[in-house]
Amino acid sequence: MTDLPSPYRLVFFDNDGTLNSRRSFVEYFNQHFGTWDSRARILLEHHLRDRTPYDEFVRECVRLWTGVPKERFLERLRTIEIRPGVPELIRALKSAGIKTAVLSSGLTLWRDMWLERENIAFDHYHANELIFDSDNLCTGEIEMRVTDNIPGMDKGSFVERISALEGVPIEQRVFVGDGWGDVSGFRKCAFGVAVDPNLEEVRLGARYVLGPDEFSKLHEILHVPRFQ
């Protein structure tokens, strides 16, 4: 690795399937709550077959969770594997003065989980927010903030807004993701890195493609030393 400082000042990450090993929060929560085989799998099949908008699909799934205590969501998040090498890379980026941002079409619950599990706080974190009542029970509602089917809420739009706020030009920013929704982010950065992608369009949209256990290669790609 070169001893020269990294040419990048801002790195964007997807969360589900990129920083952790599970691609779909809809799937891993419904499996945990026992609603996957009875209801949620059917909703997913309809979503894929009929190409219903992502936000509509998510709202239908979230309604299945009405009355579920917040702690049950958190207990599931505590069991999901964080990809090997992720905490070390984030700390190395911070040590190098490089800003980090998460853009997720999943849930903001992960923002607090990163603090709880790894004591990591990202400089920017944008995701969708489940609504809980005063007793910390899910109301069956969600505030959608990140979804690729609504103009201005796609990840590419977030990249542009955050980059303008931080004053970072396109050649100094990178996007790391795994899914179709991340491709719009790839296009607004110097390049994209696909982590274990499951779609050819994602693979083709990235400059680098990493396997599921190759996250640590980002140290070389981003020119940041391994955190000591």
Domains of the chain: 10-21+82-135+143-222 (3.40.50.1000), 27-76 (no CATH)
Q: Is the pLDDT of residue 183 over 90?
A: yes
3-state helix, strand, coil in the chain (%, to 5): 45, 20, 35
Q: Is the pLDDT of residue 19 over 50?
A: yes
Question: What's the confidence (pLDDT) of residue 2?
Answer: 47
Q: Which residues contact 58 (CB under 8 A, 6 or more apart)?
A: 26, 128, 142, 144, 147
Q: Long-range contacts: 114-119, Cβ < 8 Å, 24+?
A: 116/78, 117/78, 117/82, 118/82, 118/87, 118/90
Q: What percent of the chain has pLDDT over 90?
A: 80
Given a contact cutoff of 8 angstroms between Cβ atoms, the answer to whether 155 and 103 are in contact is yes
**Residue with the larger pLDDT of the pair 163 and 36:** 163
Please classify residue 123 by burial: count the beta carbons closer than 10 Å to its beta carbon, then call 0-12 exposed, 13-18 middle and 19+ buried. middle
Question: How much is the average pLDDT of 151-170?
Answer: 98
Quick one: pLDDT band at residue 227, thresholds 50, 70, 90? low
Question: What's the confidence (pLDDT) of residue 27?
Answer: 87
Question: What's the confidence (pLDDT) of residue 49?
Answer: 78
The helix/strand count (H/E) of the chain reads as 10, 7
What are the angstrom distances between the C-alpha of 51 and each of 17, 46, 61? 21, 8, 15
Question: How much is the average pLDDT of 49-61?
Answer: 87
Question: How much is the average pLDDT of 64-90?
Answer: 96
Given a contact cutoff of 8 angstroms between Cβ atoms, the answer to whether 222 and 11 are in contact is yes
**Residue with the larger pLDDT of the pair 38 and 213:** 213
Given a contact cutoff of 8 angstroms between Cβ atoms, the answer to whether 144 and 128 are in contact is yes
Q: What is the DSSP letter of 17?
A: T
Quick one: pLDDT band at residue 3, thresholds 50, 70, 90? low
Least confident of 54-58, 140-144, 194-198: 54-58
Q: Report which of 107, 202, 94 is spatially closest to residue 147, judged by C-alpha positions.
A: 107
Question: How much is the average pLDDT of 198-208?
Answer: 96
Q: Provide the whole-model pTM.
A: 0.94
CA distance linking residue 93 with residue 103, whole number of Å:
17
